[in-house]
Amino acid sequence: MSTAVAAPLPDFPAAVLQARTVAAIARTRAARHSAASPAGDALRTIADHLDVAARVFETDPTPCRDGIPSGAWAALADAEDLAAAHPGIGFPPRFGQYITQSLTGNPIDLPAPLNPALPGLASQEANLHARLRTIHDQLAASNSTAHAALFLHAAFTLHRKHVRIADAVRAHDSRP
């Protein structure tokens, strides 16, 4: 009679750190909103979904989808749906890439080009994309949890700036 040894759970320390870091970013932004604010509620719920994803990365050996445990994949999808429904919070619609990139090796997408007509806004957008590319490269190459957290904070700050540029482009384009 052989004794079956349980297969070890997958080890996803980078994804755990990244999920918890982005959850902290969401909670910090939520604290800036009133208790009944839809944006604040969305950010708190996103943080809760990211907590679930982090727990799954630590403990749940369920089958994987694209290298991501199914429970984490579902929690990230729910969080991304909320971000897409609330663009003003400054989270990119597919921000889960920042959490799963260390597992998939896939590059992180840049925000869609806004193609602003004003040279100043075009320059700001080009600068933002260049800075995000650099941060994405540094995040992918990072072996330090402290550095990864700093890169995530920097990336999400730039994504919030992208929302402001998009707002300025819409305001300019809507003028007669």
Q: Check residue 80 and give its pLDDT.
A: 98
> pLDDT tens for residues 119-132?
999 999 999 999 99
Q: Check residue 12 and give its pLDDT.
A: 82
Amino acid at 122: A
- Residue ranges of alpha helices (H) inside the chain are 13-30, 38-59, 70-85, 97-104, 119-141, 145-173
Domain residue extents for the chain: 13-173
Mean pLDDT, to the nearest integer, of 66-72? Answer: 89
> pLDDT tens for residues 97-150?
999 988 888 899 999 999 999 999 999 999 999 999 999 999 988 888 889 999
Q: What are phi and psi of 65, to 5 degrees?
A: -120, 115
Q: Check residue 29 and give its pLDDT.
A: 96
State yes or no: pLDDT of 93 exceeds 60.
yes
Q: Check residue 64 and give its pLDDT.
A: 82
Contact 111, 98 (CB under 8 A): no
Q: Check residue 61 and give its pLDDT.
A: 61
State yes or no: pLDDT of 31 exceeds 90.
yes
State yes or no: pLDDT of 6 exceeds 60.
no
Handedness of CA 104, 153, 159, 39 (dihedral sign): positive
Q: Check residue 1 and give its pLDDT.
A: 45
Q: What are phi and psi of 100, to 5 degrees?
A: -95, -10
